[in-house]
């Protein structure tokens, strides 16, 4: 892998904290991705051991730890003759040093001078490893944002998902990360070409000093470290060839039947030729000398080569290599009649050997026949057992079917009883319908749907404020809490007719039923339904609907501003004539679900609020009724969690809706409460 003159994004880790050993792995080059082949050249998972430079012997550990998870390998400004990546002379996997190459620490830099951004989909789930990041939402990528605070840096820019500067990188822990490395807009080519000659000379001197400081033993170890891998590779290749030759299956003779080879004692082969054979071969291979006498013969002399001798000499050369030896055997067996001659040579008499092989095959077939007969006998013996097991299983299935039949009969009887009960209920419903038809008036509450407390408040506020009332969010929350928790409510306005309008708008907003106390006396209630029912009255009367309706039922006492009863809610009117006619929301809200929500958010009343209520009781020089105390405590437990302003706002509305109306209703002196209510705007307005 070539590092010369390049800039890399790398991951740094301290793999040995006791000895403060660091190593880096290149992730991304400024020109693009690093291929797996480049990392395989580095071996050992692609890491390089970081060794301290002479200039930072004392600050090496602190600077490496301050880099974080990512760093830069900067070799752009280093001349090619200055080799910052070298072989590790301490490379010893058996002793824990698994990094074959080293890199000097002066080539490792932080990322402050280079703009590299990690692209994440949610910085809260996956914390970015760079100082700034880009945010990805599907195919939409924008940024940069500060990793520490999440704020945009300068102007937010957008990049296309197919941008050629987006790189997907595989981290050492096999996770995939996406980085955006913008192209450099400054042409530094001319500046990089012109290098200060004084700096070159200084760096060259430093390199010479480092090389001169290396002892002869260090140089020998460095050379050995570079040669050992190649020697191991050649040794492993030779061992693989030997193992492959040993494991190679032997091929059967071509043209002969399958038979078992009979071992024969072969005569020992001489490892060397006798003297006569050596001299004879040398004479035949040498060019014969011409006779000394002059012979009158025009024929030329030529050496005669023995083909058998030439074949034996060539066979000796081929037999030293496994591949050529196998090829020679195959070529020899492919010759006509070679298989028969070789069979006679190995087995002796061909006819006798064939009879032996056939007899062996007959014996094997006989053994197989006997084995099959024994297996057949075993199957016959097991047949009776299998029949018995089948009969037992059939009996078990019969019992299961009988049990299922009994269960079905019990279910049918249960359904018959339920049908009788439904028939009785049907008769009662018909009686109620006849009573409704005869009376002429009936109340038929509908079944509502689940709706959140916040949405219900929004529907009520929208209906009332469009009609001309001026009610804040806390006013609506106060009104809805009193309706849900208490059976009676004193709804006041400047005029009585406005109070009637307010309860009508409230009923339409939540999909409730609105009926007067006079109409209730001549009406029939139809069972079922769970929407709120509001009964309007001008005097306190017994709620006769409570025992006949399972849903929420609230009696609303309507009055003007001159009359007040507890609990009381005042509906102020806005100024002007910009009014709208609100339409029914069309949503029927299930009241029980809202009431359950109030119990879920309720919590204990703070001690400071309790002390304030006791102080109010002391100033009035009277004790509040237990019914009032319970109502105020129930109200505060839910209101302090829902109102804007928390417990302080809940206490203000508790005084305005419960305590002060009680004081005025019972004609007590309310002046002592002014000192407490100075910081309570709602309570002060009631006083």
**In the prediction, which pLDDT does 212 show?**
47
Q: Which helix (H) or strand (E) holds 409?
A: helix 350-439
Question: Residue 193: pLDDT band by 50, 70, 90 thresholds?
Answer: very low
Pair 464, 571: CB distance under 8 Å: yes
Pair 139, 161: CB distance under 8 Å: yes
**In the prediction, which pLDDT does 291 show?**
47
For 184-201, what is the mean pLDDT? 43
* ∠ CA 244-245-251, rounded to 5°: 115
Q: For 103, list phi and psi in degrees, rounded to 5.
A: -135, 140
pLDDT digits (tens, 9 = 90+) for 257-275: 444 444 444 444 444 455 6
Residues 6+ apart with CB under 8 A from 465: 471, 574
- Residues forming a β-bridge with 491: 558, 569
Q: What is the DSSP letter of 657?
A: I
% pLDDT > 70, the chain: 75
Q: How far apart are CA 543 and CA 527, in angstroms?
A: 17
Question: Residue 408: pLDDT band by 50, 70, 90 thresholds?
Answer: very high
For 352-369, what is the mean pLDDT? 77
The angle, 0 to 180 degrees and rounded to 10, between the axes of the packed helices 496-510 and 453-467 is: 140
> b or e along 501-534 (b: 16 or more beta carbons within 10 Å of the residue's beta carbon)?
bbbebbbbbbbbbbbebeebeebbbbeebbbbbb
* ∠ CA 608-612-618, rounded to 5°: 145
Average pLDDT over the chain reads 77
Tokens linked to 20:
């403060």
% pLDDT > 90, the chain: 5
Tokens linked to 225:
């470290």
Residues 6+ apart with CB under 8 A from 64: 12, 14, 20, 22, 50, 105, 108
User: Does position 504 have pLDDT exceeding 70, yes or no?
Assistant: yes
**In the prediction, which pLDDT does 111 show?**
85
Name the residue with higher pLDDT: 107 or 283: 107
Name the residue with higher pLDDT: 531 or 176: 176
Tokens linked to 47:
């890491």
For 69-75, what is the mean pLDDT? 90
Q: How far apart are CA 465 and CA 574, in angstroms?
A: 8
Q: How far apart are CA 189 and CA 72, in angstroms?
A: 20
- Tokens 């990546």 identify what position? 85
DSSP codes, 165-200 = TEEEEE-TTS-EEEEE-PPP-S--HHHHHS--HHHH
Q: For 73, list phi and psi in degrees, rounded to 5.
A: -100, 105
Name the residue with higher pLDDT: 187 or 123: 123
Pair 13, 23: CB distance under 8 Å: yes
Query: The sheet that has 117-120: what strands, in order across it?
Result: 152-159, 140-146, 132-137, 117-120, 176-180, 166-170
Name the residue with higher pLDDT: 523 or 46: 46
pLDDT digits (tens, 9 = 90+) for 465-498: 888 888 888 888 988 888 888 888 888 888 888 8
User: Does position 155 have pLDDT exceeding 70, yes or no?
Assistant: yes
pLDDT digits (tens, 9 = 90+) for 438-466: 655 666 677 778 888 888 888 888 888 88
SS (H, E, C) 474-493: HHHHHHHHHHHHCCEEEEEE
Residues 6+ apart with CB under 8 A from 165: 159, 180, 181, 182, 183
Pair 22, 45: CB distance under 8 Å: no
Pair 432, 425: CB distance under 8 Å: no
Question: Residue 354: pLDDT band by 50, 70, 90 thresholds?
Answer: low
The model carries a pTM of: 0.39
Choose among 526, 425, 472, 454: nearest CA to 652. Answer: 472
User: Does position 231 have pLDDT exceeding 70, yes or no?
Assistant: no
User: Does position 412 have pLDDT exceeding 90, yes or no?
Assistant: yes
Residues 6+ apart with CB under 8 A from 42: 1, 48, 100, 101
User: Does position 72 have pLDDT exceeding 50, yes or no?
Assistant: yes
pLDDT digits (tens, 9 = 90+) for 621-656: 888 888 888 888 888 888 888 888 888 888 888 888
User: Does position 674 have pLDDT exceeding 70, yes or no?
Assistant: yes
User: Does position 194 have pLDDT exceeding 70, yes or no?
Assistant: no
User: Does position 505 have pLDDT exceeding 80, yes or no?
Assistant: yes
Name the residue with higher pLDDT: 437 or 238: 437
Name the residue with higher pLDDT: 105 or 337: 105
Q: How far apart are CA 119 and CA 180, in angstroms?
A: 7
Q: How many CB atoms lie under 10 A from the CB of residue 85?
A: 17
Question: Residue 184: pLDDT band by 50, 70, 90 thresholds?
Answer: low
Question: Residue 12: pLDDT band by 50, 70, 90 thresholds?
Answer: very high
For 321-336, what is the mean pLDDT? 80
Q: How many CB atoms lie under 10 A from the CB of residue 465?
A: 17
Pair 309, 281: CB distance under 8 Å: yes
Pair 571, 491: CB distance under 8 Å: yes
For 11-37, what is the mean pLDDT? 86
- Give how far the C-alpha of residue 85 lies from the chain's centroid of Cα atoms, to the nearest Å: 38
Residues 6+ apart with CB under 8 A from 680: 651, 652, 655, 656
For 355-384, what is the mean pLDDT? 84
Tokens linked to 474:
């806390």
Choose among 451, 572, 573, 596: nearest CA to 511. Answer: 451
Name the residue with higher pLDDT: 61 or 199: 61
Q: Within the chain, how many helices (H) and strands (E) appear?
A: 20, 21
pLDDT digits (tens, 9 = 90+) for 563-580: 778 888 888 888 777 677
**In the prediction, which pLDDT does 301 show?**
56
How long, in residues, is the chain? 687
**In the prediction, which pLDDT does 227 show?**
52
Choose among 532, 458, 483: nearest CA to 638. Answer: 483
**In the prediction, which pLDDT does 188 show?**
44
Q: Which helix (H) or strand (E) holds 13?
A: strand 7-16
**In the prediction, which pLDDT does 119 show?**
92
């Amino acid at each position: 892998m070539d590092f010369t003159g390049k800039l890399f994004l790398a991951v740094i880790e301290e793999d040995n904290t006791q000895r403060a050993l660091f190593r880096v792995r290149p992730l991304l080059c400024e020109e693009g991705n690093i291929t797996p082949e480049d990392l395989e050249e580095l071996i050992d998972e692609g890491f390089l051991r970081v060794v301290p430079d002479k200039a930072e012997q004392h600050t090496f550990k602190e600077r490496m730890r301050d880099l974080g998870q990512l760093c830069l390998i900067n070799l752009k400004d280093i001349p090619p003759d200055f080799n910052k990546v070298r072989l590790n002379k301490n490379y010893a996997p058996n002793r824990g040093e698994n990094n074959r190459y080293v890199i000097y620490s002066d080539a490792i830099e932080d990322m402050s001078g280079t703009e590299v951004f990690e692209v994440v989909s949610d910085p809260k789930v996956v914390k970015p490893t760079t100082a700034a990041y880009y945010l990805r939402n599907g195919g939409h990528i924008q940024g940069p944002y500060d990793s520490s605070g999440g704020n945009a840096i300068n102007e937010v820019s957008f990049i296309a998902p197919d941008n050629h500067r987006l790189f997907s990188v595989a981290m050492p822990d096999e996770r995939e990360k996406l980085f955006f490395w913008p192209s450099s807009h400054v042409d530094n080519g001319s500046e990089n070409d012109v290098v200060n000659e004084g700096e070159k000379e200084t760096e060259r001197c430093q390199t010479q000093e480092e090389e001169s400081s290396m002892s002869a033993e260090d140089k020998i170890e460095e050379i050995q470290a570079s040669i050992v891998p190649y020697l191991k590779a050649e040794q492993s290749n030779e061992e693989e060839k030997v193992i492959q030759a040993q494991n190679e299956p032997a091929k059967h003779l071509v043209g002969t039947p399958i038979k078992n080879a009979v071992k024969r004692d072969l005569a020992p082969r001489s490892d060397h030729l006798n003297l006569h054979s050596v001299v004879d071969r040398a004479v035949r291979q040498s060019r014969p000398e011409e006779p000394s006498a002059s012979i009158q013969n025009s024929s030329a002399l030529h050496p005669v080569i023995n083909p058998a001798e030439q074949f034996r000499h060539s066979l000796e050369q081929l037999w030293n290599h496994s591949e050529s030896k196998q090829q020679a055997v195959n070529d020899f067996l492919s010759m006509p009649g070679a298989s028969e001659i070789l069979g006679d040579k190995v087995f002796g008499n061909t006819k006798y050997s064939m009879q032996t092989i056939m007899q062996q095959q007959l014996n094997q077939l006989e053994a197989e026949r006997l084995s099959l007969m024994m297996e057949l006998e075993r199957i016959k013996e097991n047949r009776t057992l299998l029949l018995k097991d089948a009969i037992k299983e059939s009996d078990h299935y019969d019992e299961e079917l009988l049990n299922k039949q009994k269960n079905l009969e019990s279910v049918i009887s249960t359904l018959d009883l339920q049908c009788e009960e439904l028939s009785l209920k049907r008769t009662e419903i018909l009686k109620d319908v006849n009573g409704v038809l005869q009376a002429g008036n009936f109340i038929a509450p509908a079944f509502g749907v689940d709706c959140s407390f916040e949405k219900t408040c929004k529907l009520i506020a929208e209906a009332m404020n469009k009609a001309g009332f001026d009610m804040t969010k806390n006013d609506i929350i106060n009104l809805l809490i009193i309706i849900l928790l208490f059976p009676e409510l004193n709804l006041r306005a400047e005029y009585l007719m406005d109070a009637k309008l307010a309860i009508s708008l409230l009923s339409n907003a939540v999909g409730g039923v609105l009926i007067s106390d006079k109409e209730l006396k001549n009406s029939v209630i139809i069972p079922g339904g769970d929407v709120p029912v509001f009964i309007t009255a001008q005097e306190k009367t017994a709620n006769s609907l409570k025992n006949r309706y399972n849903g929420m039922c609230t009696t609303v006492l309507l009055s003007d501003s001159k009359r007040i009863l507890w609990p009381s809610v005042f509906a102020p009117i806005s100024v002007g004539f910009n009014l709208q006619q609100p339409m029914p929301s069309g949503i029927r809200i299930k009241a029980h679900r809202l009431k359950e929500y109030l119990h879920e958010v309720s919590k204990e009343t703070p001690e400071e609020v309790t002390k304030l209520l006791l102080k109010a009781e002391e100033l009035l020089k009277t004790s509040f009724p237990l019914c009032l105390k319970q109502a105020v405590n129930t109200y505060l437990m839910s209101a302090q969690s829902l109102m804007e302003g928390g417990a302080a706002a809940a206490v203000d509305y508790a005084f305005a809706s419960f305590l002060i109306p009680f004081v005025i209703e019972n004609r007590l002196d309310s002046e002592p409460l002014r000192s407490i209510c100075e910081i309570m705007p709602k309570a002060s307005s009631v006083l």
